Structure 1
Amino acid sequence: MRFELELWHVISLVMAIVGAFWGIGRMLLAATANGINEKFGHVAAQIERLSSLEVKRGEDVLKLERELGALRLEMMRDFTRREDHNQAIAGIRISLDNMSLRIEKALAGSNGGRSDA
Structure 2
Amino acid sequence: MKKGFVVKDSKKIKSVDCPCGFSTRIITARDTPLVNFHITHITNSSKHYHLKCTELYFILEGEGQMELEENNIIGLTPGIVVMIKPGVPHRGYGDFKAIVVGVPAMEENDEFFCIKT
Work out whether the TM-score is over 0.5: no
TM-score by length of 2: 0.14
TM-score by length of 1: 0.14
More strand by share: 2
More helix by share: 1
